């Protein structure tokens, strides 16, 4: 029922192009409903180890090596998974160091600076293996499927997810604008954690 | 998974027609009275309808004159009057039953806080001393013959606490504090279920209320207040290590250990409970193992993920959990 | 004053009809269908669309019953089941029950009051297209896995942004907007038409009881629908732009949703019921061959029901912990509304007693209505009681209650109405034999499906559950209910077959096959586009019985232009003429612009910027003055 969407080829003429773009937008948004609304309760089975060396941004990792998933973000378009990720972010106390994205003890997650990379697999590895300067390794404590959900949510905090996939506000006191209204902050590789900078 | 202490109590049929508390008894009386009246009214109306439709008539065309108007008017007025009286009587009856079941139960009442989560029940027995608080999940024990006040809360969506044998329901609304009270008159195990649509597993969000004699209840409560025993068996000790090293500690608490997360049900006395997964499965070794391996196969959509533990790890873990009485 | 040419006011019947035909005819073909402003054409498609949704809603229910037939069944998982029961509720409540009553009203009311059309023909067309768009939007979303899944009542916080991610609930909120606009359009049509377009002499207290029912229903729609349109927009705003209407942590309240929704939701069910009561009055009168007893009492009962229904909404919230004294007021009001409903039933029974009943299929449905509706009504009195309701609220007892009152009070009268007015609409009679089978299958099936649910509710089975455990003992009664559902499906299928067969091979009906008393039977079956060759003048409540043979008629009206007679509100004295528009495409275009506006609003607030100019453009096209139409032009040229 959900066939892949193909981009419309060729302009039909200036008069029709606005209508065409609008209908293209609507078709994209409509067909995207398939993936956006999927509730896959069984989640992803854990994959093998990360074999692609390009994914590793820094040569050293905290904690032991853990089996990890090498697929790119499976939940980039799944609103249900992103919303689960948001719940887990607070329940697993990511907010304890990163707060609601503004950072504090840990670096901010809602800005454009990504020390170890902003791709879903980078974030997955950050969470699973930990990072220097204080990010614990959660690979033995959070199942891979949930790590992917949290990674997808983290990307939404700086507006990297599509607006209809990113979560809305939650039923709590509001300390940040909702993720689905967050302007996209184009990721920048900065490489140096704040705590490692000289005073 | 023997449950030695409460096993003499019989599980009652889950129904409001089997009252085990004065509250439900009163409501049942009201319901029965209304049902009987309703049945009589229905039969009278149907009889009138059939008679009106099927009665023998003379061949002449009807004439809308005074001869027919008067009996019709009398009949309609009489029926309306009788209806009004019946309704008024039930209004009074209802208000009086409502008042009876909500009057203050008095200071002797036991207080229990029940917080609804998607899709399990957090049960907390509070006390003026926090170290005497007991937290459990999905199974509530109450002493027979003593009023129990339930403070009803929710942390996520609206749930509704409904043990039909013991009490009419009350919603648990985030941001609101509701309460109800009842008194269990006879010992037994009563089942309740969430009664407000709360998402994927609303259907499997049940709980048990175990009404037992006061001394048994006090014994149970004292055990619930205790921290978890350290396992002596080597397999169980290994299982505790598995618990602490794996993902269990992210969501579950076992008091007396460093596992203190309040996201999921408290497991300190898991083995003392009769069911798993909010009343979905009997608490047996097989069911517990199956639940840990893949909760999604039993309760799709539940927040607990499938776990990748090796066979020996799983055996050890289950052995440990069985020691949490 | 310009002289009107002689042939603009012909006097002999034949040329009158010819000229009216010419003036009022619909353009042929697909274009004609798309541009039609004839209330009968629009009414027919409205009815057919609503019945298609009825069948879809019924299929959803069938799948649900298949899932619930056995404990721990695997026909539907929890996510699918949640979508199915939500779609069933939304389809039945928003896409079938109210629209079908509206549709039959829009078809029948002008005929019953001796008018040529509804008061605003283009608005009528717009209302239908918006309704169709809303239904298509909901179902296309459903097939794209974006159908709503939090129930037709969609309580927050479950339906809020945190617990319902994605666009499913936004689809819910916006599809309601479509259907509410359509309902409001119909309400405006009915009120203005009934107040200002009645045949001369049809004072308010000579109006048929069905017209009174539609008038009351229209006012109820006017006061109730804006609330659901508002509350769904509040929810949409919470989800899209992070407002806090329902966020307790920021000063909002989850209960606010319930109050606002049920303030609409309770009148909604009476909006569905009231036209059904109107149908019953008409059928009872015709099939007992005498006017319904107690006309003033009947009218006052309809008005009371309409008014009182706005004071009952908290009875949906008896378990939420509201103060008890306040709840008791709603118990009193909920019980009180039984009285006018009861008065109507007693008056009908009195009418049947005094008259000479003929047991045609419409009358069978009326008898079935009394039985099923009264059962539903008495369980309604039971759940009106706070203490009892706190046991059975949100259980299958309530499911039983409302299906009894809705099927008994709306579906049975509706089917009776179809059997009754099908000859008028199509010119052919439905088969009596198939009709009897239809009736009895439905009667037995409905009772078999829903009566066990009373017991299930008392036994503690909650609503909206995708399955239940075997140990609860709820299996046997659920299986019985599913078997009943199969009978209901067969019954509905028989109705569809009856319609299909009779459209082709039914007996020709003639003007008045039943010997009825109201004005719609004074014209041909089906009626011509202009409804009546001569606008009748009415001198009593049952014009065809009181003035058999020839009805007095209005003379001197032009037949070469689309002129409609406007009469005064109370006494229906001729007051003025209203020029009706010719067929036009603008209502359809405006509906498309409205659709674009609402659908894009789900995804981005910029949808308002995209959609509103489009909408304004189409409204501009709609309202653009046309100058003289060609008929007027011809007249001006001829008279110089």
What is the predicted pLDDT for the residue at C546?
A: 87
> What is the pLDDT confidence band of residue C635, given thresholds at 50, 70 and 90?
low
Q: Is residue B182's pLDDT more than 50?
A: yes
Judged by a CB distance cut-off of 8 A, whether residue A197 touches chain B is no
Task: Name which of C533, C514, C569 is nearest C114 in CA terms.
Answer: C533
Q: Which chains touch A (3 or more CB pairs under 8 A)?
A: B, C
C445: Cβ–Cβ under 8 A, 6 or more apart, which residues? C484, C485, C486, C487, C488, C489, C490, C491
Q: Is residue C524's pLDDT more than 60?
A: yes
Mean pLDDT of C293-306: 96
Q: Is residue A13's pLDDT more than 50?
A: no
Pairing of strands B139-143, B206-212: parallel
Does B209 share its domain with B121? yes
Q: Write out chain C residues lying below 8 Å of B45, CB-based.
A: 345, 349, 370, 374
Instruction: For residue C407, give the DSSP letter.
Output: I
Query: What is the per-residue burial (b if ≥16 Cβ within 10 Å, else e) of C430-445?
Result: bbeebbebbbebbbeb
CB–CB contact A1 C242 (8 Å): no
Number of other CB atoms surrounding residue C282 within 10 Å: 28
Q: Is residue B8's pLDDT more than 90?
A: no
Judged by a CB distance cut-off of 8 A, whether residue B314 touches chain C is no
> What is the pLDDT confidence band of residue C15, given thresholds at 50, 70 and 90?
confident
Computed over every residue of chain B, the mean pLDDT equals 92
Q: Write out chain A residues lying below 8 Å of B302, CB-based.
A: 41
Task: Name which of A79, A155, A54 is nearest A112 in CA terms.
Answer: A155
Does B48 share its domain with B140? no
Q: Which domain holds residue B179?
A: 110-225
CA distance linking residue B199 with residue B190, whole number of Å: 24
How distant is the Cα of A27 from the closest Cα of chain B, in angstroms?
Answer: 29
CA distance linking residue B150 with residue C412, whole number of Å: 45
Q: What residues are paired with B281 via a beta bridge?
A: B276
In C368-387, the residues whose Cβ lies within 8 Å of chain B are 370-371, 374-375, 378-379, 381-382, 384-387
CA distance linking residue B299 with residue B199, whole number of Å: 12
Tell me what percent of the residues of chain B surpass a pLDDT of 70. Answer: 95
CB–CB contact C242 A178 (8 Å): yes
Q: Which chains touch C (3 or more CB pairs under 8 A)?
A: A, B
Domain end (from B34, B69, B102): B102
What is the predicted pLDDT for the residue at A42?
A: 79
C82: Cβ–Cβ under 8 A, 6 or more apart, which residues? B199, B200, C149, C150, C151, C464, C466
CB–CB contact C162 A168 (8 Å): yes
Task: Name which of B154, B115, A82 is nearest C162 in CA terms.
Answer: A82
Give the CA dihedral C158, C159, C162, C167, nearest 10 degrees.
Answer: 150
What is the predicted pLDDT for the residue at C330?
A: 96
| Domain boundaries of chain A, sorted by first residue | 79-189
In C124-153, the residues whose Cβ lies within 8 Å of chain B are 150-151
CB–CB contact A30 C140 (8 Å): yes
Q: Which helix (H) or strand (E) holds B134?
A: strand B134-137
Q: Is residue A67's pLDDT more than 50?
A: no
How distant is the Cα of A28 from the closest Cα of chain B, in angstroms?
Answer: 27
Judged by a CB distance cut-off of 8 A, whether residue A91 touches chain B is yes
In A24-43, the residues whose Cβ lies within 8 Å of chain B are 39, 41-43
Surface-to-core class of residue A16, CB atoms within 10 Å of its CB (0-12 exposed, 13-18 middle, 19+ buried): exposed
CA distance linking residue A186 with residue A118, whole number of Å: 10
Residue B17 lies in a domain: no
What is the predicted pLDDT for the residue at B63?
A: 57
How distant is the Cα of B144 from the closest Cα of chain C, in angstroms?
Answer: 21
What digits encode the pLDDT tens for the residues C84-110?
999 999 999 999 999 999 999 999 999
Residue B2 lies in a domain: no
What digits encode the pLDDT tens for the residues A92-121?
999 999 999 999 889 999 999 898 888 898
What is the predicted pLDDT for the residue at C629?
A: 62
Strand, helix or coil for residue A122: helix
CA distance linking residue C71 with residue C63, whole number of Å: 15
What is the predicted pLDDT for the residue at C551?
A: 86
Does B178 share its domain with B199? yes
Cβ-Cβ contacts under 8 Å between A and B: the total is 37
Q: Which of B297, B305, B309 to mutate to test the interface with A (most CBs of A within 10 A)?
A: B305
Pairing of strands B110-117, B281-282: unpaired
Does B96 share its domain with B168? no
Residue B126 lies in a domain: yes
How distant is the Cα of A171 from the closest Cα of chain B, in angstroms?
Answer: 8
Task: Report the range of poorest mean pLDDT among C63-72, C98-107, C595-604.
Answer: C595-604
Higher-scoring residue by pLDDT: C30, C11:
C30
Mean pLDDT of B221-242: 95
Query: What is the per-residue burial (b if ≥16 Cβ within 10 Å, else e) of C99-131?
Result: bbbbbbbbbbbbbbbbbbbbbbbbbbbbbbbbb
How distant is the Cα of A150 from the closest Cα of chain B, in angstroms?
Answer: 14
Does B90 share its domain with B119? no
Q: Could you give the ipTM of this predicted complex?
A: 0.94
> What is the pLDDT confidence band of residue C14, given thresholds at 50, 70 and 90?
confident
Strand, helix or coil for residue B86: helix
Domain end (from B82, B102, B122): B102
Higher-scoring residue by pLDDT: C78, B69:
C78
How distant is the Cα of A152 from the closest Cα of chain B, in angstroms?
Answer: 17
Strand, helix or coil for residue B152: strand
CA distance linking residue B80 with residue C346, whole number of Å: 8
Query: What is the per-residue burial (b if ≥16 Cβ within 10 Å, else e) of A101-137?
Result: bebeebbbbbbbbbbbbbbbbbbbbbbbbbbeeebeb
> What is the pLDDT confidence band of residue A66, given thresholds at 50, 70 and 90?
very low
Mean pLDDT of B289-307: 95
Q: Write out chain C residues lying below 8 Å of A85, CB-based.
A: none
Q: Is residue A64's pLDDT more than 50?
A: no
> What is the pLDDT confidence band of residue B68, given thresholds at 50, 70 and 90?
confident
CB–CB contact C166 A171 (8 Å): no
Q: How many domains does chain B have?
A: 3
Judged by a CB distance cut-off of 8 A, whether residue B94 touches chain C is yes
Q: Write out chain A residues lying below 8 Å of B308, CB-based.
A: 46, 143
What digits encode the pLDDT tens for the residues C343-380?
999 999 999 999 999 999 999 999 999 999 999 999 99
Q: Could you tell me how many helices (H) and strands (E) chain C has, helices first?
A: 22, 2
CB–CB contact A1 C144 (8 Å): yes
What is the predicted pLDDT for the residue at A188?
A: 83
Fold of A79-189: Cytochrome Bc1 Complex; Chain D, domain 2 (1.10.760)
Of A42, A91, A171, which has the smallest distance from its Cβ to B263's Cβ? A91
What digits encode the pLDDT tens for the residues B122-138?
999 998 898 899 999 99
Helix axes B66-102, C338-354, angle to 10 degrees: 150
* In contact, C125 and C587? CB cutoff 8 Å: yes
Q: Could you tell me how many helices (H) and strands (E) chain A has, helices first?
A: 6, 2
- Answering whether pTM is above 0.90, one says yes
Cβ-Cβ contacts under 8 Å between A and C: the total is 90
What is the predicted pLDDT for the residue at A25?
A: 62
What is the predicted pLDDT for the residue at B298?
A: 95
Task: Name which of B143, B152, B145, B86 is nearest B124 in CA terms.
Answer: B152
Mean pLDDT of A157-163: 93
Q: Is residue A65's pLDDT more than 50?
A: no
Question: Cα C135 vs. chain centroid, distance in angstroms?
Answer: 14
Higher-scoring residue by pLDDT: C161, A13:
C161
Q: Is residue B1's pLDDT more than 60?
A: no
Residue B297 lies in a domain: yes
How distant is the Cα of A165 from the closest Cα of chain C, in angstroms?
Answer: 6
Residue B120 sits in a domain whose CATH number is: 2.60.40.420
In C303-342, the residues whose Cβ lies within 8 Å of chain B are 319-321, 324, 327-328, 331-332, 335-336, 338-339, 342
Domain end (from B192, B225, B258): B225
What is the predicted pLDDT for the residue at B202?
A: 97
What is the predicted pLDDT for the residue at A15?
A: 37
Strand, helix or coil for residue C409: helix
Of B247, B296, B301, which has the smallest distance from its Cβ to A141's Cβ? B247
Q: Is residue C628's pLDDT more than 80?
A: no
What is the predicted pLDDT for the residue at A53?
A: 36
Task: Name which of A75, A69, A155 is nearest A117 in CA terms.
Answer: A155
CB–CB contact B176 C255 (8 Å): yes
If interface means Cβ-Cβ distance under 8 Å, which residues of chain A face chain C?
1-2, 22, 26, 29-31, 33-34, 36-39, 41, 79-80, 82-83, 86-87, 163-165, 167-174, 177-178, 180-181
How distant is the Cα of B146 from the closest Cα of chain C, in angstroms?
Answer: 21
> What is the pLDDT confidence band of residue A194, given thresholds at 50, 70 and 90?
low
* In contact, B146 and B164? CB cutoff 8 Å: no
Mean pLDDT of B219-235: 95
> What is the pLDDT confidence band of residue A2, given thresholds at 50, 70 and 90?
very low
Pairing of strands B206-212, B159-161: unpaired
If interface means Cβ-Cβ distance under 8 Å, which residues of chain C face chain A?
79, 140-141, 143-146, 157, 160-163, 165-168, 238-242, 244, 246-250, 596, 599-600, 603-604, 610
């Amino acid at each position: 029922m959900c066939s892949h969407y193909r981009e419309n080829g060729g302009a039909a003429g200036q008069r029709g192009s606005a209508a065409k773009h609008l209908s293209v937008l609507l078709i994209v948004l409509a067909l995207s409903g398939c993936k956006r609304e999927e509730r896959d309760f069984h989640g992803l089975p854990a994959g093998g180890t990360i074999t692609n060396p390009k994914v590793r941004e820094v040569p050293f990792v905290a904690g032991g090596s853990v089996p990890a998933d090498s697929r790119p973000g499976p939940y980039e378009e799944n609103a249900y998974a992103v919303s689960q990720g948001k719940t887990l972010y607070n329940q697993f106390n990511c907010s304890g160091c990163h707060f609601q994205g503004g950072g504090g003890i840990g670096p901010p997650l809602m800005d454009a600076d990504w020390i170890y990379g902003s791709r879903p697999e980078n974030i997955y590895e950050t969470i699973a293996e930990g990072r220097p300067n204080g990010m614990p390794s959660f690979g033995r404590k959070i199942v891979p499927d949930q790590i992917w959900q949290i990674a997808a949510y983290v990307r939404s905090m700086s507006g990297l997810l599509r607006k209809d996939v990113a979560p809305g506000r939650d039923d709590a006191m509001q300390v940040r604008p909702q993720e689905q209204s967050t302007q996209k902050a184009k990721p920048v590789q900065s490489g140096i954690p704040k705590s490692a900078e000289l005073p | 998974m023997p449950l030695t202490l409460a096993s003499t109590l019989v599980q009652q049929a889950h129904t409001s027609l089997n009252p085990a508390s004065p509250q439900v008894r009163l409501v049942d009386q009201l319901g029965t009275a209304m049902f009987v009246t309703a049945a009589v009214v229905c039969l009278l109306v149907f009889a009138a309808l059939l008679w009106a439709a099927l009665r023998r008539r003379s061949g002449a065309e009807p004439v809308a004159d005074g001869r027919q108007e008067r009996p019709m008017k009398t009949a309609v007025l009489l029926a309306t009057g009788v209806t009004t009286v019946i309704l008024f009587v039930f209004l009074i009856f209802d208000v009086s039953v409502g008042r009876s079941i909500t009057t203050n139960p008095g200071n002797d009442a036991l207080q229990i806080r029940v917080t609804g989560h998607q899709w399990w029940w957090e049960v907390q027995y509070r006390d003026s001393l926090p170290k005497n608080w007991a937290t459990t999940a999905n199974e509530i024990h109450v002493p027979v013959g003593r009023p129990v006040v339930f403070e009803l809360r929710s942390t996520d969506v609206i749930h509704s606490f409904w043990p039909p044998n013991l009490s009419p329901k009350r919603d648990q609304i985030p941001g609101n504090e509701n309460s109800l009270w009842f008194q269990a008159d006879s010992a037994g195990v009563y089942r309740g279920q969430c009664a407000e649509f709360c998402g994927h597993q609303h259907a499997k969000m049940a709980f048990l209320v175990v009404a037992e004699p006061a001394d048994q209840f006090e014994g149970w409560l004292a055990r619930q207040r205790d921290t978890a025993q350290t396992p002596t068996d080597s397999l169980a000790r290994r299982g505790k290590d598995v618990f602490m090293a794996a993902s269990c500690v992210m969501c579950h608490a076992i008091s007396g250990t460093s596992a203190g997360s309040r996201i999921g049900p408290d497991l300190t006395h898991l083995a003392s409970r009769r069911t798993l997964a909010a009343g979905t499965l009997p608490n047996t070794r097989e069911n517990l193992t199956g639940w840990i391996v893949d909760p999604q196969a039993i309760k799709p959509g539940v927040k607990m993920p499938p776990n990748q533990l090796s066979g020996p790890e799983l055996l050890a873990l289950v052995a440990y959990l069985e020691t949490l009485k | 004053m310009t002289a009107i040419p002689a042939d603009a006011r012909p006097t002999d019947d034949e040329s009158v009809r010819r000229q009216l035909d010419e003036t009022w005819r619909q353009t042929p073909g697909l274009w004609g269908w798309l541009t039609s402003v004839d209330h009968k054409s629009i009414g027919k498609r409205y009815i057919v669309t609503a019945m298609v949704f009825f069948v879809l809603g019924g299929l959803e229910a069938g799948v649900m019953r298949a899932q619930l037939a056995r404990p721990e069944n695997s026909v539907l998982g929890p996510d699918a089941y949640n979508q199915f029961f939500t779609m069933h509720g939304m389809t039945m409540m928003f896409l079938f029950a109210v629209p079908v009553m509206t549709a039959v009203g829009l078809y029948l009311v002008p005929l019953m009051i001796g008018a040529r059309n509804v008061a605003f023909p283009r608005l009528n067309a717009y209302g239908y297209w918006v309704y169709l768009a809303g239904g298509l939007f909901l179902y296309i979303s459903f097939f794209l896995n974006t159908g709503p899944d939090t129930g037709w009542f969609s309580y927050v916080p479950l339906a809020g942004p945190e617990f319902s991610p994605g666009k499913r609930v936004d689809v819910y909120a916006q599809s309601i907007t479509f259907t509410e606009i359509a309902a409001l359009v119909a309400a405006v049509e009915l009120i203005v038409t009934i107040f200002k377009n009645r045949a001369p002499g049809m004072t308010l207290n000579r109006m048929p009881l069905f017209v009174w029912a539609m008038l009351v229903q229209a006012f109820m729609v006017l006061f109730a629908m804006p609330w659901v349109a508002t509350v769904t927009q509040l929810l949409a705003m919470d989800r899209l732009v992070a407002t806090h209407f329902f966020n307790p942590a920021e000063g909002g309240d989850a209960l606010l949703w319930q109050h606002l929704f049920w303030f609409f939701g309770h009148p909604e069910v009476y909006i569905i019921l009231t036209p059904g009561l109107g149908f019953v009055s008409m059928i009872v009168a015709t099939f007992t061959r005498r006017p319904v007893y107690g006309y003033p009492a009947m009218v006052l009962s309809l008005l009371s029901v309409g008014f009182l229904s706005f004071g009952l909404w908290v009875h949906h919230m008896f378990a939420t912990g509201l103060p008890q004294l306040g709840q008791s007021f709603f118990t009193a009001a909920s019980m009180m509304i039984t009285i006018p409903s009861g008065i109507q039933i007693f008056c009908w029974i009195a009418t049947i007693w005094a008259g000479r009943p003929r047991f045609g299929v419409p009358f069978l449905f009326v008898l079935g209505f009394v039985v099923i509706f009264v059962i539903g009504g008495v369980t309604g009195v039971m759940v009106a009681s706070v203490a009892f309701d706190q046991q059975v609220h949100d259980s299958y007892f309530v499911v039983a209650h409302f299906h009894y009152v809705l099927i008994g009070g709306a579906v049975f009268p509706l089917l009776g109405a179809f059997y009754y007015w099908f000859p008028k609409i199509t010119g052919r009679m439905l088969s009596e034999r198939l009709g009897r089978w239809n009736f009895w299958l439905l009667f037995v099936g409905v009772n078999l499906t829903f009566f066990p649910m009373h017991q299930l509710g008392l036994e503690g089975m909650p609503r909206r559950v995708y399955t239940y455990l075997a140990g609860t003992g709820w299996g046997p009664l659920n299986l019985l209910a599913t078997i009943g559902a199969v009978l209901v499906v067969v019954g509905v299928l028989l109705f569809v077959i009856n319609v299909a067969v009779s459209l082709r091979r039914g007996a020709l009906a003639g003007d008045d096959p039943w010997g009825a008393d109201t004005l719609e039977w004074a014209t041909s079956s089906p009626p011509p586009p202009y409804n009546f060759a001569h606008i009748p003048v009415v001198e009593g409540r049952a014009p065809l019985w009181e003035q058999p043979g020839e009805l007095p008629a209005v003379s001197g009206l032009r037949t070469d232009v689309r002129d409609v007679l406007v009469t005064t509100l109370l006494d229906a004295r001729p007051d003025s003429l209203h020029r009706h528009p010719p067929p036009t495409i603008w209502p359809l275009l405006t509906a498309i612009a409205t659709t674009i506006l609402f659908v894009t609003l789900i995804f981005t607030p910029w949808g308002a910027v995209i959609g509103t100019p489009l909408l304004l453009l189409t409204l501009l096209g709609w309202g653009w003055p046309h100058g003289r139409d060609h008929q007027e032009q011809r007249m001006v040229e001829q008279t110089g």
